[in-house]
Amino acid sequence: MIKLVSLISRKDGMSKQGFMHLWKHEHAAMAKDIPGLRRYVLSYIQSEPTRPDVPEHDFTCDGIVELWFDDEAQMQLVLASDAMREWRAHGATFIGRIKAFLTKEEAFI
């Protein structure tokens, strides 16, 4: 399986509470209707620990999203679907910025 991991931030002027409500309750519920989406995981930012030995990135992030697919071909079909277009349009109403990464996991422990 592969996953698309995205760092997302709320729209400027939107409260964290409003963002979280839309993301957790409305947007997450819509994900259940996307055929071929194998897993949808939300990670909520609780704090931002720093390391004195490594410089920080200069971006803000309100959450991390994981979209899981069987493989890249299946991902392309899902991303082109009407359900995904509707879901992304809904996301655009509250997501202000996004940075996505196509990843493949390799577990060591």
pLDDT single digits (tens) 28-79: 999 999 999 999 999 999 988 889 999 988 888 999 999 999 999 999 999 9
- pLDDT for the residue numbered 48: 87
- pLDDT for the residue numbered 84: 97
Q: How far is CA 72 from CA 36, 54, 69, 88, in A?
A: 12, 33, 7, 19
Average pLDDT of the chain, as a whole number:
95
Is the pLDDT at 17 greater than 90? The verdict is yes
Using an 8 Å Cβ cutoff, are 86 and 21 in contact? no
Q: Where are the domains of the chain?
A: 1-46+83-103
Is the pLDDT at 4 greater than 90? The verdict is yes
Q: Global pTM?
A: 0.89
Answer positive or negative: Cα dihedral of 94, 99, 103, 106.
negative
